[in-house]
Structure 1
Amino acid sequence: MCSKCSDYLKFKVLDEYINQQKNSEGCLIAVLHKAQEIYGYLGEEVQQFISNKLNIPISKIYGVITFYSYFTIEPKGKYVISVCTGTACFIRGSKDILEKFKERLNINEGETTEDGLYTLDTLRCVGACGLAPVVTINNKIYGKFDSSEIEKVLNQFKE
């Protein structure tokens, strides 16, 4: 087990999950998904643990993590706000919505508020172009979003 691990119980859960896998190399993505589910992100300590358990170089693990947009190496806020910047949403004002969120939260795209409550991201398309512009909060879709709704939505996700 990881002697320097900051959260022994979480590493124990991850360790048990890895031990259930049959093929070390073939299960990497499944293990990364599970680790991110447990920790919320894939920090260096978690990457090293997975590397040791699966006998896969940490450079390969890092490469997989940074290749797929789903994985993150930075902690995210409790609520991840994503503004769609795909063509339909952009044409219908998503750039203005993004700017208003930045202003209101006092963070830039890809950043998390100091209190750890909100992370602001963009995404290219959620496949709901008929509802453009679209904002998602923790993957829940808010269609035909207007910047005047920002306060209302943020108030729903305060705690």
Structure 2
Amino acid sequence: MLSESEIHAIDHEVSLVPHKKAAVIEALKVVQQHHGWVSDEKLEEVAAYLDMSPAEVDSVATFYNLIFRKPVGRHVILLCDSISCYVMGYKKLYEALHEHLHIKFGETTPDGRFTLLPNACLGCCDHAPALMVGEDLYRDVQVQDLENILAQYK
């Protein structure tokens, strides 16, 4: 069952749009904020609450790359792999992250601290390469910056 606080937050999002179904992304974000990801069970609960089919909600959840459909680490690292970031050093950043964390894209460190995911664009083409850790955006990132960046998320 959706918790009382989840329902309250979803109701607020529903109040901001003309149709209940239009709040589906925000409802999924609410669930994710409470649980870290959106399980099949929670997806079905959101679907029932918004008078949608689970398939409709799942199609939104799987399209929107910031809705996590499997458990992730406490800190999700989004590494931009746009052409600008690629040209400006994305590959070196990926290799350094892989070497430091011992994980590949889609994997989580054994301690559950970090999950590494690619991201098509972080909107920082003029400050490439870029990455995000949770809500924190880092621009003009160099390999030597990674250790200090990651140390902030212990």
Amino acid at match of 2:59: G
Question: What residue in structure 2 maps to residue 156 of structure 1?
Answer: 152
Are 1:11 and 2:6 an aligned pair? no
- The one-letter amino acid of 2:137's match is I
Q: Report the Cα distance in structure 2 between the residues aligned to 1:136 and 1:19, rounded to whole angstroms.
A: 29
Q: Which residue of 2 aligns with 1:73?
A: 69
Question: Where does the alignment leave 5 or more consecutive residues of structure 2 unmatched?
Answer: none
Structure 1: stretches of 5+ with no match in the other structure: 3-9
TM-score if structure 1 supplies the norm length? 0.82
| Alpha-carbon shift at residue 15 of structure 1 (Å) | 2.8
State which structure, 1 or 2, has the greater radius of gyration over its C-alpha atoms: 1
Please report the TM-score for the alignment, with normalisation by the length of structure 2.
0.85
Q: How does 1:1-150 map to 2 (within 5 A)?
A: 2=1, 11-18=3-10, 21=14, 23-150=19-146
Q: Distance in 2 between matches of 1:133 and 1:91?
A: 8
Superposed displacement of residue 18, structure 1: 4.2
Structure 1 residue 33, shift from structure 2 partner: 2.2
Deviations 1:84-125 (A, max 9, x none): 111121111111111110121111112211211111112122
Identity value in percent: 27
Distance in 2 between residues matched to 1:94 and 1:107, nearest whole Å: 16
The count of residues paired between Structure 1 and Structure 2 equals: 150
